[in-house]
C-alpha cells in the first residue's frame, strides 16, 4: 500500500469493479482472479491489481480475490458503506425522471429534497412524495435534511447560479446535467453528465470511420 496520488481513472474503474463484483456475488462466485475480472470488465489484469493495491493488499497469492471481501473493501474506499442524501434542483422532465429512477436508490443514493424557482411548482408534491421547495430555502432545508450532494438539472443558463447557491449552503458535491463548465472553489467537486458531448463523440466516429 502506498500513499502516492490515486489517478482519477482508478476511482472510475473501482466503481465498475464494484458493479461487476455485485453481479458475481449474485451468481454465487466466491473467488475471482484479476485475470478473470479483467476479462469481464474489458481492462488489463495488471490494471486491476494496481488499482486495488493503491488501497491495501486485498488478494491472496496463488488464489485470487474473495468476491465478498473485495466488494466490501471497494465499497468502503468509495464511501458506499453509507447512504448519501441528494437534493434535486430543477424539476423539469429530466429532473422528474431522475427522482423516479431506480439506479440511484439501488446504490444508496436517496433524494431528500427537491427545488425549483417556478411558483407553479413550489409546494407541489412529486410522485416520490417529495415536496418541491423554493431554492431560497436551500439553507433551511439543508439544515433539516442534511443534503450532501446537489443534482443540477436546470437549463444551462441557470446552472452556475444554482451552483453558487449550493456553494453558499456548503453543499460540497454536485452532479451537473447542464452542458456547461461549472466553476467551484477548492474543496468542492463537480461531476458532469453531458450527453451532448457523448453524442458529438459518436457523430465524430460515424463521420470519420464510417
Partner DNA sequence: TGGTGTGAACAACTTCACAGCG
Partner DNA sequence: CGCTGTGAAGTTGTTCACACCA
Site residues, DNA (CB under 7 A): 1-2, 5, 7-10, 33-35, 43-47, 49-50, 52-53, 57-65
State which residue, 107 or 134, has the beta carbon closest to a second copy: 107
Contact call for residue 207 and a second copy (CB under 8 A): yes
Q: Closest approach of Cβ 73 to DNA, in Å?
A: 10
Tell me if 45 contacts a second copy by CB under 8 A: no
- Indicate which of DNA, a second copy, none lies near residue 173 (CB less than 5 to 8 Å, by partner kind): a second copy
**Least Cβ distance, residue 78 to DNA (angstroms):** 17
**Buried b vs exposed e over 2-25: b needs ≥16 C-beta within 10 Å?**
eeeeeeeebeebbeebbeebeebe
The cell numbers describing 204, all together, are 465524430
Least gap, CB of 174 to DNA (angstroms): 21
Contact 82, 88 (CB under 8 A): no
By a kind-dependent CB cut-off of 5 to 8 A, residue 61 interacts, out of a second copy, DNA, none, with DNA
Q: At 87, phi and psi to the nearest 5? A: -125, 130
Q: Which three cell numbers stand for residue 162?
A: 444554482
DSSP conformation class of 82: S
Amino acid at each position: 500500500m502506498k500513499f502516492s496520488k490515486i489517478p482519477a481513472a482508478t476511482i472510475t474503474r473501482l466503481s465498475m469493479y464494484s458493479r461487476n463484483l455485485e453481479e458475481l456475488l449474485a451468481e454465487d462466485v466466491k473467488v475471482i482472479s484479476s485475470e478473470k475480472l479483467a476479462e469481464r470488465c474489458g481492462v488489463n489484469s495488471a490494471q486491476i491489481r494496481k488499482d486495488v493495491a493503491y488501497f491495501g493488499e486485498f488478494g491472496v497469492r496463488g488464489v485470487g480475490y474473495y468476491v465478498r471481501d473485495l466488494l466490501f473493501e471497494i465499497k468502503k474506499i468509495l464511501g458506499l458503506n453509507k447512504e448519501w442524501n441528494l437534493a434535486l434542483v430543477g424539476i423539469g422532465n429530466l429532473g422528474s425522471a431522475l427522482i423516479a429512477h431506480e439506479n440511484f436508490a439501488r446504490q444508496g443514493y436517496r433524494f431528500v429534497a427537491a427545488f425549483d424557482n417556478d411558483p407553479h411548482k413550489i409546494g407541489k408534491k412529486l410522485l416520490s412524495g417529495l415536496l418541491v421547495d423554493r431554492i431560497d430555502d436551500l439553507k433551511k432545508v439543508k439544515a433539516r435534511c442534511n443534503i450532501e450532494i446537489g443534482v443540477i438539472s436546470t437549463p444551462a443558463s441557470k446552472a452556475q447560479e444554482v451552483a453558487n447557491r449550493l456553494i453558499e449552503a456548503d453543499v460540497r458535491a454536485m452532479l451537473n446535467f447542464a452542458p456547461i463548465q461549472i466553476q467551484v472553489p477548492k474543496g468542492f467537486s463537480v461531476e458532469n453528465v453531458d450527453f451532448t458531448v457523448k453524442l458529438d463523440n459518436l457523430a465524430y466516429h460515424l463521420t470519420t470511420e464510417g
